């Protein structure tokens, strides 16, 4: 799955960067596990805390306070700002609640937002994975969905 992605990115002369929260660098790890990924992968940031989102990705404190770090608005800003920072063709952002704790009635465990910025166009997809997948399962499922999204845009 990742080998095909790397080859396709290379063939199309595209680069990719990631800003991950709930996946904790899993996506970056999976991409860089492929030999030759250095030709297309520019950077992977794990901005797990709100402080790192504010400091590194320049997400405004007021946005996080108003909408939360796990929100469409935050995910959108993460992708947009990563694109500026990395100068990559494709910027991916991920924020969510992998569990097993940390969920609420309005933001349950399994809620994940994935953002993609390419050619100055940004979109965010919302996922609600089953809590029963467990923390690692939610993280892995998120990465699988991200690859599908990327393949659908290149």
Per-residue confidence (pLDDT) for residue 1, from 0 to 100: 74
Domains in the chain, number: 1
| Domain annotation covers residue 101 | yes
Cα R_g (the chain), whole angstroms: 15
At 10-53, the pLDDT tens digits run 999 999 999 999 999 999 999 999 999 999 999 999 999 999 99
| Domain annotation covers residue 43 | yes
Confidence of residue 142 (pLDDT cuts 50, 70, 90): very high
Give me the DSSP letters along 79-123.
HHHHHHHH--SEEEEEEE--SSS---SSS-TTEEEEEEEETTEEE
Confidence of residue 8 (pLDDT cuts 50, 70, 90): very high
Which single residue is written with the structure tokens 């080859």? 7
CB contact at 8 A, 67 and 73: yes
| Domain annotation covers residue 60 | yes
Count helices and strands in the chain by DSSP H and E runs: 6, 5
Per-residue confidence (pLDDT) for residue 115, from 0 to 100: 98
| Domain annotation covers residue 33 | yes
CA nearest to 142, candidates 15, 20, 1: 20
Q: What is the CATH number of the domain that holds 98?
A: 3.90.950.20
Q: pTM of the prediction?
A: 0.96
Q: Which two three-digit tokens encode residue 47?
A: 């901005």
What's the rounded Cα separation, in Å, for the pair 11 and 17? 17
Per-residue confidence (pLDDT) for residue 2, from 0 to 100: 83
| Domain annotation covers residue 10 | no
What's the rounded Cα separation, in Å, for the pair 97 and 56? 20
β-bridge pairing 16-20 and 41-46: parallel
Confidence of residue 100 (pLDDT cuts 50, 70, 90): very high
| Domain annotation covers residue 8 | no
| Domain annotation covers residue 4 | no
| Domain annotation covers residue 2 | no
Q: Which domain holds residue 99?
A: 17-153
Q: What is the mean pLDDT of the chain?
A: 96
β-bridge pairing 121-128 and 111-118: antiparallel
């Amino acid at each position: 799955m990742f080998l095909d992605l790397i080859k396709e990115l290379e063939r199309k002369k595209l680069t990719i960067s990631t800003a991950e929260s709930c996946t904790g660098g899993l996506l970056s790890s999976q991409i860089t596990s492929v030999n030759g990924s250095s030709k297309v992968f520019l950077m992977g940031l794990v901005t797990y805390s709100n402080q790192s989102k504010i400091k590194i990705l320049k997400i405004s404190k007021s946005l996080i306070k108003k909408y939360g770090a796990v929100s469409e608005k935050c995910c959108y800003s993460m992708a947009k700002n990563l694109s500026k920072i990395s100068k990559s063709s494709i910027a991916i952002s991920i924020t969510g609640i992998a569990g097993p704790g940390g969920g609420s009635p309005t933001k349950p465990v399994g809620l994940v937002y994935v953002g993609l910025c390419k050619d100055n166009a940004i979109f965010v997809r919302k996922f609600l994975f089953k809590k029963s997948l467990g923390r690692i399962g939610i993280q892995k499922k998120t990465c699988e969905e991200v690859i599908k999204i990327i393949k659908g845009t290149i």
